[in-house]
Amino acid sequence: MSEVRKREMRREAAALLLLILLLTAAGLAVGVGSAYFSDQDARSNRIKPGDSNLEITEEFHPPDELKPGEIIAKSVQITNKGKSSCFVRCRLLLDDEGILPYLNLGLDTENWVKAEDGYYYYKRALEIGEITTELLKQIEVAKDAPEELLKRGFSLNVYAESYQQGQFLKEAWQEAWKHFEKNQKAWNEEGSV
């Protein structure tokens, strides 16, 4: 091989090497610029279900026989046995609605509110381990109660529900239960929240 041809090959090799270096530098510049103008992030949020657990406490000593004008002591309170503060609502369910006009329920209307949906709402959130005031203290049978109703007797059952306080203020019971109802409605309509 001649000396001239060797020089030409060296120039071509140098030119090829220079071209490869320039392309590599350009590729790095594009990659760095692309990384500079883009961003990516991922987060994993662990969601744990809450723990609502209520205990209904009743103190009730039913009489052997109901009599007109009788006052029967029946105390109903709710205890928050869960692991978070919660709002409470209750229903009082009579097995015989016919006797209702002849009963005067001694209810705590200062701390509990009866709503149109039939529930009694406690007006503030219960802390863990806290007990409500007595929703019901006594039942007074009217003096004009028909004897046939009194002979049948009646059962008054207590049903309670809770909703975690979460982000709601302690006294925001109405807002919390509206939120609960909205979520229940969405769940029932769509199958998801």
pLDDT of residue 27: 67
**pLDDT (tens digit, 9 = 90+) per residue, 31-57?**
655 555 555 556 666 656 667 789 999
- Label residue 193 by pLDDT band (50, 70, 90): very low
- Label residue 122 by pLDDT band (50, 70, 90): very high
* Distance of alpha carbon 192 from alpha carbon 139, whole angstroms: 42
**Can you tell me which residue has the tokens 């120039």?**
11
Which tokens go with 103?
Answer: 């009963």
pLDDT of residue 50: 63
**pLDDT (tens digit, 9 = 90+) per residue, 75-92?**
999 999 999 999 999 999
Contact assessment for residue 168 and residue 175, using Cβ atoms and an 8 Å cutoff? yes
pLDDT of residue 29: 62
* Distance of alpha carbon 115 from alpha carbon 113, whole angstroms: 6
* Distance of alpha carbon 103 from alpha carbon 140, whole angstroms: 6
DSSP class per residue in 144-168? T--HHHHHH---EEEEEEEEE-TTS
Give the helix/strand (H/E) hosting 176.
Answer: helix 173-190
**pLDDT (tens digit, 9 = 90+) per residue, 131-188?**
999 999 999 999 999 999 899 888 899 999 998 888 888 888 888 888 888 887 777 7
Characterize the bridge pairing of strands 54-60 and 71-80. antiparallel
Return left, alpha or beta for 151; rule: phi > 0 is left, psi -120 to 50 is alpha, else beta.
Answer: alpha
* Distance of alpha carbon 147 from alpha carbon 127, whole angstroms: 44
Contact assessment for residue 54 and residue 80, using Cβ atoms and an 8 Å cutoff? yes
* Distance of alpha carbon 106 from alpha carbon 108, whole angstroms: 7
